[in-house]
Structure formats: structure tokens, C-alpha cells
Amino acid sequence: MSEVYKKLEKIVTEKFISNNLIVRHAYSRNVDPVLQGVPDIVIRPKNAEEISEILKIANEENVPVIPRGGGDCEFGGSKPVEDGGIVLDMKRMNNIIHLDEDNLTVTVEAGISWGKLNEYLCHYGLYTGCMGPGSGMTASVGGGISHHSVGGGGCAKYGSCTNQLVGLQVVLPTGEIIETGSKANKYTKQHFNRCGNGPDLNGLFCGDNGILGVKTQVTLQVFPRPQYADYKTFLLPRKDRAVSSKIFSEVRRAGIDVYDLMYIYDIIVKIGCQQGMFPLWDHIKKKRAIMFYTVEANSEGELKEKVKQLDQIFLNNKCESLGPEISDGNIAKWHYVEQGHWQFYHNLWGMVPALEPCTAECFTPINMYPKILDDIDQWDMEHNDDMQVFTNITGQRPISGSGPILLIDGCNVELTCGFTTFGSYYNGEIHENFEELNLRLWKSFLERVTKWGVEWYMMGEFASRLMVDLEAYLPEYYKLLATVKNALDPKNILSTGKFNFWGGKR
């Protein structure tokens, strides 16, 4: 790789490239605990032109390239599937290019975080609608588009962040730079509309998990933040899974334009309070499930009517309001007013310090998730002997279940299910059997959830390959995907291995 390194160094200078062993290992992990591939080279380009040159060299040398945004993917999405290759670190490309206040769009470099972008927009009374993923303090905008991300807030009203996409600049795997949307017309100066000038090629790169091109610039719709908002938190009665599903459905059927609607089921509340995660709920005697809503409006009258309708739905379902202030337990107010959405979303993964996530986050219809949660309980019991292996050494059993379940567009929710577990390093010792056991349990969990007909979005290496290995894709669908991949990336150098599209020097 020394000759490849020298060629790449000429593109970005020695300051923005490294083959140092420590740096390479730092880029061999993201959030998941059991997958690891160590790259040969890490490089930080500054623009699309540099990325184009990098990809051309990678094609010449048949070397895999792995784009990496914020590194927050939980399925191995932003690191090599196997050892070797070039990690393309996008975080140097984190600038705001243009805010069009007339047409309400913003164009940014793809490496910028959702947090930085929305901090900028708030000075103009604007926001991105969907605030990106729950890891938006560090997660990149390009990564969010690659994953159909949700979770940061506003998903019940705006849907996933790809719903707000207007246009893209993309470097194709072979190095060509393209514009989608309105800027496909060479006479257009700024993106102003997504659909037109032919097929919607933006959609090709939404949810592609980085296999079809490197997103370098993203143009999003932005929205005026409404002047009025309210937010309430409720304690649910028993049989909370069925009750929460009923509430989600009734809100949608009533046509209420709710900004956020989230459900945190009872086990998370109980264990979370025991672990000191939810001090605002310490005063609650009965640690039952929690559900909260946020609603926005452009007038006091509109807000009052929405709140009246929402409160009636909760009260009809025998829910108990926790009071208007954060000190009363109103996590909805903290979530919206104090920007808690980027600190709160993955509460399952933070329940016990040092435990790591094996996630199974997915989209599913409202009426389906109570059954999936019941089946996860059954899965947990069936794998009790495996779980006991961890307990015997650590004194702590892995925890399966789901973090917050949140309403997204349509009559769908995001189910943030999975289990927390221990990495192989514990208390100064390496337990090699932990890694093998985690991998086997994770595959078993994902297969179980897949067969409920869920929709994966943040697929990375693990879920994308599992779908292929399980033959879960319709054959015609996978054949078409492979045809598109081969047309754009004939040597399969970009995000090699995802969806079992192999190439490079394997």
C-alpha cells in the first residue's frame, strides 16, 4: 500500500492522511461491540474534487473505500467489513454553504453534524423539521441521508430526514461528480425542488448505506419553528404495550399534527430509575411505562385545540399526567425546550455503564410492535443459558428489550429494540468467548425480528448481509439492486461487503 499512500498523500497533503497503527485502530470501530476491521489508510478530504481523485486511484489499484461520517452507526456501517482498505473520513467537510431564506432551503457539506446545523438555523428561527438521528450531536447529515435517520425529534410531524431532502452532490464510485434534483439543469444556481428534470435520482442515494456514492453536499428543506408549543408526559396504566399502541393509532386517526409522540415501556423506566438515569421520575411510586407528546402551533387557539384533543385521548385510556414542569417528571418539556433529544434517545444502551449495544432498530407498523416486544421476551427466555455465561463472570445479566418507541410518518413507529451486553474485555481480562457468544446472539435476535417483516434502515454491514444470507429479499429486488450497484461501481470498491457485494483485493 506504500505506493497508494504516496498517490493519496499528493491529493490531501501529509496533514490529512495517516497509516499510523493507532489511528487505523481508532477507525476500526464504531458503536457496535463485536465487529472490527482495521483499515490500511485513513484520509480526510476537503471537497468533492479530492474525493473524486481518491476514488479514481482506488479503482486503479482495486482498493476498497469506506465512507465515514460521524461513526455512530450501530451495524458496522462506517468501518471496513474486513481488514484493509481506505477509510474516507468526512468530518473535515462540515461547513454550511448557503441558507436560502426565500426558498427555505439550506445547503451543507455532508460531514456536518445535525447538532451544528440546527444550532446555526436556530439563529434564524428555523430548524430541519426532523432533527436527524438521536446521535445528532455527532452524527453527520450525509450519514443521516444514507440511513433514513429518525430519532432526534420531529419525526411524527416530518418523518425521516430524507423526507426533507431537496438535492445532493454525489461522487460516484468511479469518480464522476453529479448533482441531483433541480441542479441537474446546468442553468440552475441553487437547489429549490427535489422532483423534476426526470426521475427522482435523489432516492437512489437515500438509505443506500453508502454503497452507491459518496454524498458531499446535501440540500434540505428548513422550516420556521412555530411560535407556540406544549408538551406533556403521562404515566400509563397496566398492559402498557397495548395501551400505547392504541394511543398512537388514535392520534393518527384523529388527524392531530403532533410533533413528537414517544413511548418508554415499563422495564426501561424501572431499571433506568434504579440506575439513576431518570432522576425526574424518582418521586413516582409506581414505576410504570411513560408516554409523552410534543405539539406545535402557529396560534394560541390552534395549540389549545390540539392539546385538548391529545389530552382527551390519554385520559380516555386511563393515563395519568405527571404535571407541567420538568421537576414534575415532564420529560417532554426537557426533550423539546432544553434540546434533550440528542441526549436521550438511546436510553436502553445507557442503562448500565460499560454495557454495549447489539441493536435491532427498525421501522414497523403501530399494530405490530406489541407482538414483537412479547416475542423479544420469549427470545430472552429461550437464550437464558447463554445470558447466564455473562452473569457468572460479571454479576450482571445482559438486558434485552427496546428503548423509546416513537411515532414516525404514516402509521408507523421506530422500534429501538436490541440487547445490551459486555465486550470481551472485562475487569482487566479478555474473555474470548464473549465475542463469539455476542455475535451468535445478535444474529439470532436480528433473524427473529426480521421474520416479523420489519423494515431495516441503518443496515451497515451486519443487517445488510444478514438480509441477503437469510434470503429475506425478494429475488427480483436484490437482482435489481445488484444491477444498479454493478453499473455504478463495477469493481465493488465502495463500502465493500455491504449487502454481500464483494470486490477489491479480497
Please tell me the predicted confidence (pLDDT) of residue 275: 85
Identify the architecture of domain 228-344 in CATH.
2-Layer Sandwich (3.30)
Please tell me the predicted confidence (pLDDT) of residue 504: 54
pLDDT band per the 50, 70, 90 thresholds, residue 340: confident
Q: Does the domain spanning 2-91 belong to CATH 3.30.43.10?
A: yes
DSSP strand pairing (165-171 vs 214-221)? antiparallel
Strand partners, 291: 234, 263
The enclosing H or E element of 306 equals helix 300-316
Query: By three-state DSSP, how is residue 238 classified?
Result: coil
Average pLDDT, rounded, for the chain: 94
Please tell me the predicted confidence (pLDDT) of residue 388: 96
pLDDT band per the 50, 70, 90 thresholds, residue 344: confident
Which CATH number fits the domain 96-224, given the four candidates 3.40.50.300, 3.20.20.70, 3.30.465.10, 3.30.70.260? 3.30.465.10
User: What Å distances lie between residue 129 and 117, 162, 197, 257, 447, CA to CA?
Assistant: 12, 11, 26, 13, 33
Please tell me the predicted confidence (pLDDT) of residue 221: 98
pLDDT band per the 50, 70, 90 thresholds, residue 132: very high
Q: For residue range 175-192, what is the model confidence (pLDDT) as tens digits?
A: 999 999 999 999 999 999
Please tell me the predicted confidence (pLDDT) of residue 469: 96
Q: For residue range 147-176, what is the model confidence (pLDDT) as tens digits?
A: 999 999 999 999 999 999 999 999 999 999
Lookup result for grid cell 399534527: 257
* Number of Cβ atoms within 10 Å of the Cβ of 403: 28
- The total number of residues shown for the chain amounts to 506
Given a cut of 80, is residue 349 above it in pLDDT? no
The mean pLDDT value for 270-283 works out to: 90
Percent of the chain with pLDDT over 90: 85
The mean pLDDT value for 311-335 works out to: 96
Lookup result for grid cell 476514488: 55
- Examine domains 2-91 and 228-344 and report if their fold is the same: no
Please tell me the predicted confidence (pLDDT) of residue 239: 94
Given a cut of 90, is residue 85 above it in pLDDT? yes
Given a cut of 70, is residue 276 above it in pLDDT? yes
Closest CA to 387 of 374, 396, 377, 375: 396
Rounded distance between C-alpha atoms, residue 328 and residue 210, angstroms: 44
Given a cut of 70, is residue 506 above it in pLDDT? no
DSSP state of 491: T
Please tell me the predicted confidence (pLDDT) of residue 29: 86
pLDDT band per the 50, 70, 90 thresholds, residue 194: very high
Asked if 493 and 4 count as a contact pair (C-beta separation under 8 A), the reply is no
Lookup result for grid cell 434504579: 274
Given a cut of 60, is residue 230 above it in pLDDT? yes
- Amino acid identity of residue 345, one-letter, is Y
Enter the pTM of the model: 0.95
Q: Is the dihedral of CA 473, 474, 475, 480 positive or negative?
A: negative
Please state which of the ranges 21-35, 122-136, 326-340, 346-360 shows the lowest mean pLDDT. 346-360
User: What Å distances lie between residue 235 and 307, 367, 397, CA to CA?
Assistant: 17, 21, 27
Transcribe 65-115 into DSSP letters.
EEEESSS--SSSTTS-SSS-SEEEE-TT---EEEEETTTTEEEEETTSBHH
Given a cut of 70, is residue 281 above it in pLDDT? yes
The mean pLDDT value for 13-41 works out to: 91
Closest CA to 109 of 194, 21, 216, 213: 216
What residues does each domain of the chain span?
A: 2-91, 96-224, 228-344, 356-461
Q: Cβ contacts of residue 335 below 8 Å, gap of 6+? A: 153, 231, 260, 262, 292, 294, 341, 344
Query: By three-state DSSP, how is residue 357 classified?
Result: strand
pLDDT band per the 50, 70, 90 thresholds, residue 441: very high
Please tell me the predicted confidence (pLDDT) of residue 471: 96
Integer-rounded Cα radius of gyration of the chain: 23
